Amino acid sequence: AQRVTQPEKLLSVFKGAPVELKCNYSYSGSPELFWYVQYSRQRLQLLLRHISRESIKGFTADLNKGETSFHLKKPFAQEEDSAMYYCALSHNAGNNRKLIWGLGTSLAVNP
């Protein structure tokens, strides 16, 4: 079955602490993995996609095919990182790139 699992509904850290939001997936094929973020009262927006292999706002995520994981990491969390984070996957070829979503992790960065 195609599935994205985010085991933590809520993650609370202090400012300056490292943060890791976990994402595991199950997919019979070659997926493309994404992290989307939703800040308070804003729309969903793309944070990272695994094929870009870039760092956005200090966040990185590495696709581990052996562990079927795509964990999101940041070495020093900031208060403005507080938001809802969603891991998602799609097929990585063809036109139809419908997204399969995890349930999301709410990150709270405390001062």
Q: Is 54 in the site for other proteins (CB under 8 A)?
A: no
Q: Is 96 in the site for other proteins (CB under 8 A)?
A: yes
Judged by beta carbon, residue 15 or residue 56, the one nearer other proteins is 56
Strands 105-110 and 10-14: parallel
3-state secondary structure of 50: coil
Q: Is 99 in the site for other proteins (CB under 8 A)?
A: yes
Q: Is 57 in the site for other proteins (CB under 8 A)?
A: no
Output the smallest distance, CB 50 to other proteins, in A: 11
Per CB under 8 A, the list member of 19, 27, 74, 104 interacting with other proteins is 104
Q: Is 46 in the site for other proteins (CB under 8 A)?
A: yes
Q: Is 17 in the site for other proteins (CB under 8 A)?
A: no
Q: Which residues of 23-60 are buried (b: 16+ CB within 10 A; e: fewer)?
A: bbbebeeebbbbbbbbeeeeeeeebbbbeeeeeeeebe
Cβ neighbors of 37 (< 8 A, separation 6 or more) are 44, 45, 47, 83, 84, 85, 86
Residues that bind other proteins (CB under 8 A): 34, 36, 43-46, 49, 86, 88, 95-104
